[in-house]
Chain A
Amino acid sequence: MVAVSRPAWIAGVRPGAGVAAARSVCAGLVVSKHDPEADARLIARFANFCQRVTPDVVLEAPDVILLECSRTAERFGGEDALVDRLTRGFLRLGHRVKTGAACHPEAARTLARAAGDTHLRAEATTTIPTLAALPLAALALPSSMRRLCASLGISRIGALLDVPRSAWTARFGADLGRLLERLVGDVEEPLRRFVPEAAFRERVEFSSPVEETTPLLFAGKRLFDLAEAELVARMAAVESVTVLLETASKGPPIRLVLRPSAPSYTSRRFSALLQHRLETLRLDVPIDAVAATFERTVPIRMDATTLFEDPSAREHRDDVARLEERLASRMGGHSILGAALEEDHRPEKAFRWSSKTQETRGATRRLPEGPRPLLLEEPPVPLAVEEDASGRPVRVTRGPDRGPVRFSRGPETIETGWWDGADVRRRYFEIETAAGVRLWIYKDLGTGHWHRHGAFS
């Protein structure tokens, strides 16, 4: 027995037991074969996933991942918030993790081992007392050592730490002595940073060769689902996927290269591309396996808020990308635009349209200070306005908005743009017409003419 479920544990099955012995304690026991390779792949995936909170991830097979978070915790609203998000992220993937945080690796490992459903953390000053209170089981002891301690009546880590440090090796032997030194942080541990593989491959075999394309599509979907989980964990997308349909006759495999219009990571996108390819494929040999290689991974930019978003939000983002693709394919990319704010006082230059595929670089988040209408008129429309002695508009004398101005708000004077020749000198007012319509108008201080520049629609 390598691992047992909670009900099995309650029935008395323990890791380390033989299958026959376990069955004798628990008749209904369901045993599945341990697959160490699958475990290794899974924890590597987890390590990938953890890289979204810090680049410094150390993978310690079979079941420990160390994260150095002190530099990135700030971005997530502190260390506890970071741990909380990570834990919830794992829950969404369907896994529970035990977490512990401390100033050096062995203390963190020990706290995590002792942690139940709650996160355990120790500050620099409280590390030793916190560790001392933990049960001995939290320490990574070889079983011989564990038995020895039990026979000596030692049940808490504190009992070991109470012994003077200089006597550790002499009293407990070199191994436990070194472990304790690491535990209290007396010695530095060499750690190797986890590096994910750049390209990867997934494969499924059919129990009997297939000659239809539908099962191929299903198999592809399974591969793509696995790949999506992997890519999301790596925060990466791929530029191309090579699908190999392996023939039962051991002849050369059929090779399909799928290239999404933009780097993608979603199973849905790859499936759609594969489906498209399979529609035109004439299958004249039976296929017994499908393999897919995901190449040319590119990082996806994500910020702290999108990292742990609800998977449905990611799906929506994908839906939007697909929609943009569809619209652009019929109307051209220039017809689908995004907006970004620009740092410019001229209202007509305070933003920029850009093709959705372009990156909005250098966009500002600063909002203009004065009121701005939801509909801007470009170019501004000449307006006949009567002003009072102080220069405020009092009446619109012509056009559909004709009548007294009920009130005006402002002025906001905008004088800028001398450097690019499109300089403006304008005095803006928000006015309410007799009917209650709100307009944004300005007087050109150069020409003295009034213009309507927008409606507070």
Chain B
Amino acid sequence: MTPSVDPGVIARLRGALSRSSESVERRRPTGFTALDAALLGGLPVGALTEVYMAAPGAGALEALLPCLIPESGKSVAWVHPSSFPYPPALARAGFDLSRWMLVRPETDDDHLWALEQCLRSPGCGAVVSHAGDLPDSVMRRLALAAEEGGSTGFLVRPAALMPRPSPAAVRLLAEPVPSFVPERRRMRVTVLKCRGTPHTPQLVLEWNRETLDRDAFSLAADRTGLGGDADARESSVRTLHA
């Protein structure tokens, strides 16, 4: 049977998370040192982060969701018509369920509207949603809403949409990686874009779900070839749009 999480571990992790937030833009540290370094401190506050998932069981939520634990008084909103997080697992990850809000829009219009409302509300520390193919103008509106509300927009998107440009400040690709020991999970993260830096490294994150131990190492310090191209491609597309 798995040991349950010691609340002290969560407190320490949170402490470490809050201490390591030093950068121009406010960031939510992920606790993975190398990833935080690559992201200039963590996931941006007041902006969108896109996570392209190669497979649903890769572990991107498990690895990154804990950094969305909101500051005192704020809530996390999960906006989606059908998919929802499993509350006992959220509680395990250190979330206070009373600060969670599940928003279940029934139409696409309501989905985008609700997403925008949540992002714009100063009451939401973070907003999680799955986002399919959205027009550029909608993505920009969401990015603006996140900026106004000071929230972290966490959008899970299918990997097929990855080549499209996006106004998200951070874009990550999460891919499953076999782990060596059952207790420790692994996941490959490719930084596709991080506003403020041209570097787009590829990392392997390793963590223990029960102890919240986390570790990250770079596969290649800087995939200038690959990442740079992706970035250049994106900026050229944007120039065309402009």
* Residue A444 CB within 8 A of the other chain: no
Q: How many Å lie between the Cα of A439 and that of B61 in the bound state? A: 14
Find A436's partner among B5, B101, B123, B176 (CB 8 Å cutoff): B176
CA distance A287 to B32 in the complex (A): 62
Binds A, one of B137-145, B177-185, B219-227: B177-185
* Complexed CA–CA distance, A351 and B122 (Å): 28
The reply to whether the CB of A457 lies closer than 8 angstroms to some CB of chain B is yes
- Residue pair B74, A320 in contact (C-beta under 8 Å): yes
Q: Is the CB of B102 within 8 A of A455?
A: no
A110 to chain B, nearest CB (A): 38
- Distance from B79 Cβ to chain A, minimum over Cβ atoms (Å): 9
**A315 CA to B86 CA, complexed, in Å:** 28
Nearest CB of B to A372, in Å: 4
A141 on the B face (CB < 8 A): no
Residues of chain A with a CB closer than 8 A to B97's CB:
338-341, 363
User: Bound complex: CA of A376 vs CA of B61, how far in Å?
Assistant: 13
Interface residue A163 (Cβ < 8 Å from any Cβ of B): no
Q: Are A409 and B121 in contact (CB under 8 A)?
A: no
A234-263 interface code vs B (CB 8 A; 1 in, 0 out): 000000000000000000000000000000
A430 to B87, CA, bound (A): 18
* In the assembled complex, B242 has its CB within 8 A of some CB on chain A: no
B175-216 interface code vs A (CB 8 A; 1 in, 0 out): 011110010011100000000000000000000011000000
Distance A317 CA – B123 CA, assembled complex (angstroms): 6
A438 touches B100 (CB 8 A): no
Q: Tell yes or no: B56 within 8 A of A by CB.
A: yes
Q: Judge if B65 is at the interface, Cβ distance under 8 Å.
A: yes
Task: Collect the chain B residues with CB atoms within 8 Å of residue A320's CB.
Answer: 73-75, 101, 121, 123-124
- Taking a contact as CB atoms under 8 Å apart, the answer to whether A438 and B185 are in contact is yes
**Complex: A324 Cα to B114 Cα, angstroms:** 10
Interface centre among A310, A323, A373 (most CB of B within 10 A): A323
Across the interface, do A439 and B57 meet the contact criterion of CB distance under 8 Å?
yes
- Cα A340 to Cα B100 with chains together (Å): 10
Provide the residues of chain B in CB contact with A319, threshold 8 Å: 121-124
Chain A residues, CB < 8 A from B124:
319-320, 323
Most buried by A among B4, B85, B88, B117: B88
Binds B, one of A122-130, A202-210, A328-336: A328-336
Query: How far apart are the CA atoms of A337 and B103 in the complex, in Å?
Result: 6
- Whether a CB of chain B sits under 8 angstroms from the CB of A356 is yes
Assess whether A96 is interfacial by the CB under 8 Å rule. no
For residue B66, give the distance in angstroms from its CB to the closest CB of chain A: 10
B1 at the binding interface (Cβ < 8 Å): yes
Which of B11-19, B104-112, B160-168 binds A? B104-112
- From the candidates A322, A327, A341, A430, name the one contacting B88 in the complex (CB within 8 A): A341
Q: Which residues of chain B are near A339, meaning CB under 8 Å? A: 87, 90, 97, 100, 102
Cβ 8 A contact of A454, one of B59, B86, B102, B177: B86
Bound Cα distance from A456 to B4, whole angstroms: 17
8 Å CB interface, B110-149 against A: 110, 113-114, 117-118, 121-124
Are B103 and A436 in touch, CB under 8 angstroms?
A: no
* CB neighbours of B113 from chain A (8 A): 330
- Determine the residue in chain B with the shortest Cβ distance to A335: B104
Report chain A residues within 8 Å CB of B23: none
B235 at the binding interface (Cβ < 8 Å)? no
CB < 8 Å: which of B65, B98, B177, B186 contacts A338? B98
Q: Determine whether A25 belongs to the interface, using a CB cutoff of 8 Å to chain B.
A: no
A-B CB contacts (within 8 Å), total count: 186
Main secondary structure of the interface of A (DSSP, over half): mixed
Is the beta-carbon distance between A341 and B61 smaller than 8 angstroms?
A: no
Decide if A347 is an interface residue (CB 8 Å cutoff): yes
- The 8 Å CB contact of A317, one of B73, B77, B89, B178, is B73
Residues B72 and A316 in contact, CB atoms below 8 Å apart: yes
State A401–B103 Cα separation when bound (angstroms). 30
Q: Is B9 an interface residue (CB 8 A)?
A: no
Taken together as a complex, chains A and B put the C-alpha atoms of A115 and B62 apart, in Å, by 52
Q: What 1/0 flags go to A420-457 for Cβ under 8 Å of B?
A: 00000000001011111111000000000000001111
Contact flag A372-B86 (CB < 8 Å), given A335-B104, A336-B103, A367-B4? yes
Contact A437 B114 (CB under 8 A): no
Known: A335-B103, A435-B55. A360 touches B98 (CB 8 A): yes
Once A369-B2, A373-B89 are accepted as A-B contacts, the answer to whether A457 and B110 lie under 8 Å apart by CB is no
Asked if residues B118 and A367 are in contact (CB atoms below 8 Å), the reply is: no
Judged by a CB distance under 8 angstroms, whether B237 is at the interface is no
The CA-CA distance from A372 to B65 in the complex, in Å, is: 15
> Does A198 sit within 8 A of B, measured CB to CB?
no
Q: Does A3 contact B (CB under 8 A)?
A: no
Whole-angstrom CA separation of A456 from B60 in the bound complex: 9
Bound state CA distance, A330 and B162, in angstroms? 32
Q: Is the CB of B110 within 8 A of A331?
A: yes
Question: In the complex, what residue of chain B is closest to A376 when comparing beta carbons?
Answer: B86
B92 in contact (CB, < 8 A) = yes
Given A315-B73, A338-B97: A457 in contact with B106 (beta carbons within 8 A)? no
Give Cα A402–Cα B179 distance, bound, in whole angstroms.
18
How many angstroms between the C-alpha atoms of A336 and B77 in the bound complex?
10
In the bound complex, how far is the Cα of B76 from the Cα of A320, in angstroms? 10
Neighbouring A residues of B185 by C-beta, 8 Å: 438, 456
Contacts of B101 in A (CB 8 A): 320, 323-324, 336-338, 356
B209: chain A residues within 8 A (beta carbon):
371, 456
Contact assessment for A412 and B88 in the assembled complex, using a CB-CB cutoff below 8 Å: no
Asked if B57 and A326 make an inter-chain contact with CB atoms under 8 angstroms apart, the answer reads: no
A309 x B72 contact (CB < 8 A): yes
The answer on a CB contact under 8 Å between B56 and A310 is: no
5 further A-B contacts with Cβ under 8 Å, apart from A334-B104, A433-B57, are: A330-B110, A338-B97, A435-B178, A438-B176, A457-B59
Instruction: Sort A-B residue pairs by CB-CB distance and give the 3 closest, nearest first.
Output: A313-B73, A319-B123, A316-B73
Pick 7 A–B contacts, CB within 8 A, sort by A.
A312-B73, A313-B73, A315-B73, A327-B117, A335-B105, A336-B103, A363-B97
